[in-house]
């Protein structure tokens, strides 16, 4: 299935049905009076998070969604039926934005979460509604209210605990394939990964989700390479594992600074996330070269990098345990930031 994380669609709620002008006329019944029913309510537009989806590919081939129109009222005080609702089913982590692709309407982060995006128009009153002591034979009814319509953007941001970042060909996909059952494409040329991949990692009884995104190059925030749009998939992560290719010709310190520069240009709090730095592909290096390149990377990142090799398994488990500790610490810090019950008006 093709991975699609962004889609623009047109949505419209249903119009309300019109009220009815009708009078009861039956043999042997005197003064039947008005009996026009009200129109039915138009259908709503609802967005719901469901299980089993991990892409917005359903909205690639159908972009127009219209709720049903309410049925008009009828005689004998019959109210029209409500129009059918439109339910847009999206994966967990989907954001709904206005047509400008910037104004956030809703962020769906929990399974089963539902958002009423547009309300259908109310049905019009029939003439029976206007009957009074001074107007016993009203000959007017209201039309139904029109529904709302607009274009919106759906943007998917994967829900993951840890994210992999780095330059192209830094070994991110190989690492994900080593530690999880995910099967990303792996090859010896840049930009092998063209869309994000998600894998479930297990270590020492702990389980967490890890996201791998396409590599970043200098100028990605200006659209160079694949751009930085896929960085949205690591916005929700609790920790970043930054892999720097130790076997490449580029200086590891400079490679680290390039990626950090792109993270800073993107914003969204990525610079503030806990970061674990690792020098990857070290199975292809001599001890002297490892020491030299680790020193260069340490100067750039301000911490001692982890010497890592996905091919040989060197320090892979250590990296996972460091990620687990960072995730647990972030969860603990988030729990400590929850306001105390006393601050919410609750008193023991």
Name the residue among 219, 236, 40, 215 with its Cα closest to residue 120. Answer: 40
Distance of CA 339 to the CA centre of its chain: 26
**β-strands 197-203, 239-245 pairing:** unpaired
Those residues with Cβ within 8 angstroms of residue 64's Cβ, 6 or more apart along the chain or in another chain: 9, 10
Within a 10 A sphere around the Cβ of 263, how many other Cβ atoms? 24
**What is the full DSSP assignment across 312-324?**
TTBTHHHHHHHHH
**What's the farthest any 2 CA atoms get from each other in the chain?**
110
Q: Distance between CA 62 and CA 53 in Å, rounded? A: 16
Q: Which residues are annotated as a binding site for Mg(2+)?
A: 173, 193
Q: Which residues are annotated as a binding site?
A: 166-173, 191-195, 212-215, 280-283, 309-311
**β-strands 45-49, 149-156 pairing:** unpaired
The arrangement of strands across the sheet holding 149-156 comes to 64-66, 6-12, 149-156, 94-97, 104-108
Q: Distance between CA 278 and CA 242 in Å, rounded? A: 6
Contact present, 36 and 20 (Cβ < 8 Å): yes
Q: Distance between CA 171 and CA 138 in Å, rounded? A: 78
Q: Which residues are annotated as a binding site for GTP?
A: 166-173, 191-195, 212-215, 280-283, 309-311
Indicate the DSSP class of residue 191: T
CA terminus-to-terminus distance, the chain: 54
Contact present, 157 and 107 (Cβ < 8 Å): no
Q: Distance between CA 284 and CA 306 in Å, rounded? A: 15
């Amino acid at each position: 299935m093709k991975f699609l994380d962004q889609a623009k669609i047109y949505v419209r709620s249903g119009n309300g049905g019109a009220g009815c002008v009708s009078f009861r006329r039956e043999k042997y019944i005197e003064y039947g009076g008005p009996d026009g029913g009200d129109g039915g309510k138009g259908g709503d537009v609802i967005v719901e998070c469901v299980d089993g989806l991990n892409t917005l590919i359903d909205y690639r081939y159908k972009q127009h969604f219209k709720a049903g129109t309410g049925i008009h009222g009828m005689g004998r005080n019959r109210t029209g039926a409500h129009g059918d609702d439109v339910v847009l089913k999206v994966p967990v982590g989907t954001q709904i934005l206005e047509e400008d692709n910037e104004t956030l309407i809703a962020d769906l982060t929990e399974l089963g979460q539902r958002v009423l995006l547009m309300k259908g128009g109310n049905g019009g009153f029939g003439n029976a509604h206007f009957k009074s002591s001074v107007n016993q034979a009203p000959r007017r009814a209201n039309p139904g209210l029109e529904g709302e319509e607009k274009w919106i953007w759906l943007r998917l941001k994967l829900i993951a605990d840890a994210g992999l970042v780095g330059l192209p060909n830094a070994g991110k996909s190989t690492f994900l394939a080593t530690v999880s059952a995910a099967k990303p494409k792996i090859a010896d040329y840049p930009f092998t990964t063209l869309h994000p991949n998600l894998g479930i990692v297990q270590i020492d009884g702990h389980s967490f989700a890890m996201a791998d995104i396409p590599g970043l190059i200098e100028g990605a925030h200006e659209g160079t390479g694949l751009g930085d749009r896929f960085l949205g998939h690591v916005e929700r992560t609790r920790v970043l594992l930054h892999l720097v290719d130790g076997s490449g010709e580029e200086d590891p310190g400079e490679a680290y600074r390039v990626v950090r520069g792109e993270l800073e240009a993107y914003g969204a709090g990525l610079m503030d996330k806990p970061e674990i730095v690792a020098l990857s592909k070290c199975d292809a290096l001599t001890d002297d070269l490892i020491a030299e390149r680790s020193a260069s990377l340490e100067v750039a990142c301000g911490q001692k990098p982890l010497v890592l090799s996905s091919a040989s398994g060197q320090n892979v488990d250590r990296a996972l345990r460091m990620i687990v500790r960072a995730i647990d610490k972030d969860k603990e810090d988030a729990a400590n930031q929850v306001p105390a019950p006393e601050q919410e008006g609750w008193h023991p």
